[in-house]
């Protein structure tokens, strides 16, 4: 069989020699991730049997990009060049290469998920994973690998703390021993002149450089809010407490399969002290719970804070929660009537912006310092990145619909009527 000759720089070698079944790579621009992908695709496709002993001869190897054209533009010519000695034939229109051992490498686009179904795979590279819908992996690609215990590599430049960040964080945890997380920035590629990097640093904003070249997840993907808008306080103004709930689809708890371990949408419960001075956010409780646990969490939050009003997003999830919530109320002897709150005909981003942006800019939202602050701020700075999570923001924004401020609670608010004309009383 013809030889495949290639050279890798040190960081590429570190990733290449890893025995992890699943690799998650956060990489800066021009760090060498496309070349590494080509080598990995060719090596995997040249194998007729994997480490687990499965026959791979009828299984394909895929490179999946956000769109087919993007994948073809990025990878196709490089694949043909590097693999010229091991490629038997190519099919230009569909960007498919048949190797000398009869196996296929194909370029695919995640924007057409139905075209990804029904094919058995032994390996897949998901490039620019931050720009793909996560369900493409969870529900479509992942099952195609299970028959032969296939492998996968996720590569991308960070785009805020979205599902790619979730996967990268998960892969770095010791308990997931068949996953491994890697990070390499543009400066790790010795082929990029140092002066070019410095020119980019001078030309770009600090945030953009940090994200694009240093592959940092800390650079926010949003823009509607900035960290200097976030204020803290020890206590509120003794106003009226309200609670709002943004329910998510109900998870399976500890029984979730590994493909579902990324942080899915979470249920969020916001508890806020509302006064004429603004909002003091006492707590935001969040998690991925089943419907019974969700109902119990809502009731516990009510017992702790005794809000004057409780709002839960109207819809199918509201209807699913209510029977369980009513059961828990009867069991514990605690009763309240949740108010269904709605989108009001607005898109979620518009509703969150309308409810929160002005208040943050004017310092009329303060947070109680607690463990939930970091998650909330991460979502705040990523908003309105459509690929990032906004569950905590959504719950907080619903307070706008639930709260009815009592403007007579303060000594400095004039409540005594003084007639302008003593005779007629006006």
pLDDT tens-digit series, residues 66-125? 999 999 999 999 999 999 999 999 999 999 999 999 999 999 999 988 888 878 899 999
Residue 307 token pair: 């809000």
On the question of pLDDT at 412 being above 70, the answer is: no
Reported as a pLDDT band with limits 50, 70 and 90, residue 218 is: low
The answer to whether 372 and 392 have CB atoms below 8 angstroms apart is yes
- Residue 101 phi/psi, 5° resolution? -95, 5
Read off the pLDDT of each residue in 162-181 and give the average, rounded to a whole number.
90
On the question of pLDDT at 255 being above 50, the answer is: no
pLDDT at 252: 47
* 10-212: CATH number: 3.40.50.300
Read off the pLDDT of each residue in 227-256 and give the average, rounded to a whole number.
80
Read off the pLDDT of each residue in 209-232 and give the average, rounded to a whole number.
77
Delimiting residues of CATH 3.40.50.300 domain(s) in the chain: 10-212
On the question of pLDDT at 366 being above 90, the answer is: yes
pLDDT at 190: 85
Beta-bridge partners for 65: 109
Question: Which residue reads 């030309």 in tokens?
Answer: 203
Residue 216 token pair: 């940092």
pLDDT at 213: 84
Delimiting residues of CATH 3.30.420.240 domain(s) in the chain: 227-402
Read off the pLDDT of each residue in 327-332 and give the average, rounded to a whole number.
94
**DSSP assignment letter at 299:** H
On the question of pLDDT at 208 being above 80, the answer is: no
Looking at every residue in the chain, the average pLDDT score rounds to 86
pLDDT at 410: 40
Give the C-alpha separation, 226 to 220, whole Å. 9
pLDDT at 264: 62
For 107-120, b where at least 16 C-beta lie within 10 A, e where not — what string? bbbbbebeebeeee
Give the C-alpha separation, 164 to 215, whole Å. 12
Lowest mean pLDDT among 68-72, 160-164, 172-176: 160-164
Residues in the chain: 426
Residue 242 token pair: 């309200």
Of the candidates 182, 156, 176, 380, the residue with the CA atom closest to the CA atom of residue 262 = 176
pLDDT at 225: 86
Give the C-alpha separation, 411 to 420, whole Å. 22
pLDDT at 236: 83
Model-level pTM? 0.61
pLDDT at 50: 87
CATH of 227-402, one of 3.40.309.10, 3.30.420.240, 3.40.50.1820, 3.40.50.1220: 3.30.420.240
């Amino acid at each position: 069989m013809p030889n495949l000759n290639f050279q890798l720089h040190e960081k590429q070698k570190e990733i290449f020699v890893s025995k992890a079944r699943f690799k998650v790579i956060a990489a800066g621009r021009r760090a060498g991730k496309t070349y590494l992908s080509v080598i990995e695709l060719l090596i995997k496709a040249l194998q007729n049997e994997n480490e687990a002993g499965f026959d791979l001869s009828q299984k394909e190897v895929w490179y999946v990009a956000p769109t087919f054209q993007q994948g073809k533009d990025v990878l196709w010519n490089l694949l043909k060049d590097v693999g010229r000695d091991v490629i038997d034939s190519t099919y230009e229109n569909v960007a498919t290469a048949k190797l000398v051992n009869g196996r296929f490498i194909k370029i695919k686009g995640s924007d057409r998920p139905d075209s990804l179904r029904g094919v058995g795979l032994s390996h897949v590279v998901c490039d620019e994973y931050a720009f793909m819908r996560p369900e493409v992996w969870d529900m479509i690609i992942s099952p195609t690998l299970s028959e032969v215990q296939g492998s996968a590599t996720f590569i991308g430049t960070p785009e805020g703390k979205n599902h790619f960040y979730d996967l990268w964080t998960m892969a770095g945890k010791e308990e997931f021993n068949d996953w491994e997380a890697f990070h390499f920035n543009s400066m790790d590629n010795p082929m990029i002149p140092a002066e070019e990097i410095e020119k980019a640093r001078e030309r770009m904003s600090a945030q953009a450089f940090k994200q694009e070249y240093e592959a940092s997840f800390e650079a926010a993907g949003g823009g509607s809010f900035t960290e200097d808008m976030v204020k803290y306080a020890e206590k509120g103004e003794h106003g009226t407490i309200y609670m709002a709930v943004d329910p998510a689809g109900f998870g399976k708890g500890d029984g979730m399969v590994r493909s579902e371990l990324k942080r899915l949408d979470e249920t969020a419960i916001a508890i806020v002290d509302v006064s004429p001075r603004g909002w003091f956010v006492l707590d935001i409780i969040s998690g991925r719970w089943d419907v019974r646990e969700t109902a119990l969490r809502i009731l516990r939050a009510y017992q702790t804070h005794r809000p004057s009003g409780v709002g839960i997003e109207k819809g199918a999830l509201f209807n699913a929660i209510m029977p369980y919530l009513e059961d828990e109320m009867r069991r514990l002897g605690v009763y309240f009537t949740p108010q269904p709150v709605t989108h009001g005909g607005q898109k979620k981003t518009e509703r969150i912006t309308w409810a929160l942006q002005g208040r943050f800019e004017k310092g009329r939202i303060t947070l109680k310092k607690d463990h939930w602050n970091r998650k909330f701020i991460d979502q705040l700075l990523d908003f309105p990145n459509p690929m990032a999570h906004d569950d905590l923001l959504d719950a907080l924004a619903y307070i706008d619909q639930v709260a009815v401020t009592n403007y007579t609670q303060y000594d400095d608010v004039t409540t005594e009527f003084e007639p302008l004309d003593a005779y007629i009383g006006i």
